[in-house]
Amino acid sequence: MKSSLRSLISKETREMLRDPRIFLLMIVAPIIIFVLLGTVMGYATEKTVQATTFGLKIAIINNDEGEFSRYFIQFLRSFSNGTVNIYPVGTDPGALFQSKIYDAVLVIPSNFTESLAHGKTAVVNTFYFVKDLSISSTVKFSSLNSAVNAFQQQLLAGLLSSAYPNLNVTSLFHIISLNESAILGGREVSFSSINSLLSGAIALIVAPLMIFSIASSLAASSMGIEKEEKTLEILLTLPIKRSYIMFSKVFGAFILSLAGMIGMGIGFYYYISSVLSGVGGRVELVKTLYILSPSALAEAAIGLLLSLLFILGASILISSLASNVREAQAMTSYTWLPILIPYILLMYIDLSQLNSASVLAISLIPASTPLIVLKSYFQGWVAPVIVSFAANILYFGVVLYLGAKWFEGERILSTRVSRKNLLYKLRK
């Protein structure tokens, strides 16, 4: 590497790292946000689970007092860890809610036993006392529904046992068992791993998008500050290739983006771990990643880095039209929307439903290589991966070429695109 290019890259990384706006907002903040979110979400999940475990406080007004209503009450007492209190016939449910003790009040109708004995539906009026709109409330209320379903199953089992004494009723409820496994990329893998991968699929889109967003902001700041501090004019008169100014900004921001990616990865891992630990689970990262072949993972990683380089190049080029950091960041945030929208769509499109030409056309979406690699791996395709890599190498090359030409020209100093300028021109 030429020493002047090395000096420029070193200058870029040093300036960005020392700039508290960049360092805090783009490198430290995402880590802190994930860690805070993870801590809060972990705590909330734990509390929700606790709320469910502690169970409901139920008041039952038993207007029946028959055999089946007694079974039902007994069952609820054994099923729930909470409190089940019985109130006499004719108690006003409204009065029970006034006490604010109970989560739910069940009114067992007077024909409960008779209806069940004759195989008819018995309607139990149930009133929930909504204390707040939290997730734990919803979970609590759904646990009552589960209890009723379990009671019905037990009731059915009892009826079947008495009708068919020789039948193993318990096995009847699990008479068909699915032994699940999945074929992925020609390999048989456990279905739980696939579930784990699918549930983490959102990360496949969120992580690259966050990385791209931070990287484009970094690049925009790096270019914007050059204009804001009026240092570009001097740089352009120095005995260096002007294209080096562009290259150094791309690679300087690339190095910092990698640091940001590692930080964000740690933060994201902490976030997922915290949420899962709240429900007694844990992140099986290695197991989940193992279901992808090493070559697919390597291709996805290279695709991500290539896409990142393209995003950085485009952001530098676009932000060179701004006159300060704020304008530069605003411009890059608007202009990468054309990438963001197809990217999100791509996540939800099942490529196997499309014809070959459409798949190849989708592979041309800028910065989409990591997603194309993963989706193609599931299908065992090669062509879309090659097309996506070729297209994104081309895009990056074009951006670098245009950038180099733009920096060689004289208009880089004078051209300024801002909302004010555009509105003025439109009015004219």
Q: Is the four-CA dihedral 266, 267, 271, 274 of positive or negative sign? A: positive
Round to whole Å and give the CA distance between 78 and 55.
Answer: 11
Q: How far is the CB of 3 from another protein (least distance, A)?
A: 7
Round to whole Å and give the CA distance between 300 and 372.
Answer: 8
Residue placing its CB nearer to another protein in the complex, 180 or 233: 233
Q: How far is the CB of 243 from another protein (least distance, A)?
A: 11
Q: How far is the CB of 249 from another protein (least distance, A)?
A: 13
Round to whole Å and give the CA distance between 364 and 156.
Answer: 58
Round to whole Å and give the CA distance between 335 and 290.
Answer: 36
Q: How far is the CB of 223 from another protein (least distance, A)?
A: 13
The two three-digit tokens of residue 182, written as one number: 């999945």
Residue placing its CB nearer to another protein in the complex, 162 or 237: 237
**CB proximity list for 413: less than 8 A, separation 6 or greater:** 232, 233, 236
**CB proximity list for 174: less than 8 A, separation 6 or greater:** none
The two three-digit tokens of residue 135, written as one number: 């997730």
In the block, which residue shows the tokens 């960049």? Answer: 22
SS3 per residue for 68-100? HHHHHHHHHHHHCCCEEEEECCCCCHHHHHHCC
Instruction: Report the candidate in 321, 318, 323 with the shortest Cα–Cα distance to residue 333.
Output: 318
Q: How far is the CB of 33 from another protein (least distance, A)?
A: 24
Residue placing its CB nearer to another protein in the complex, 25 or 360: 25
Q: How far is the CB of 321 from another protein (least distance, A)?
A: 17
Is the CB of residue 52 less than 8 Å from the CB of residue 136? yes
Residue 243 CB neighbour total at 10 angstroms:
17
Residue placing its CB nearer to another protein in the complex, 10 or 358: 10
Beta-sheet strands, E only, within 17-136: 57-62, 83-87, 104-108, 125-128
Residue placing its CB nearer to another protein in the complex, 171 or 237: 237
Q: How far is the CB of 221 from another protein (least distance, A)?
A: 12
Residue placing its CB nearer to another protein in the complex, 187 or 405: 405
Residue placing its CB nearer to another protein in the complex, 239 or 380: 239
Residue placing its CB nearer to another protein in the complex, 20 or 380: 20
Residue placing its CB nearer to another protein in the complex, 196 or 329: 329
Specify the pairing of strand 104-108 against strand 57-62: parallel
Q: How far is the CB of 263 from another protein (least distance, A)?
A: 20
What are the phi and psi torsion angles at 184 (to 5°)? -135, 120
Q: How far is the CB of 25 from another protein (least distance, A)?
A: 15
* Chain residues that interact with another protein, rule: CB under 8 A: 3-4, 7-8, 11, 14-15, 18-19, 229-231, 233-234, 236-241, 410, 413
Is the CB of residue 367 less than 8 Å from the CB of residue 307? yes
Residue placing its CB nearer to another protein in the complex, 236 or 386: 236
Round to whole Å and give the CA distance between 303 and 393.
Answer: 10
Q: How far is the CB of 312 from another protein (least distance, A)?
A: 20
Q: How far is the CB of 405 from another protein (least distance, A)?
A: 14
State the first-to-last Cα distance of the chain, in angstroms, to the nearest integer: 48
Is the CB of residue 271 less than 8 Å from the CB of residue 172? no
Give whole-number Cα distances, 228 to 22, 220, 223, in Å.
15, 12, 9
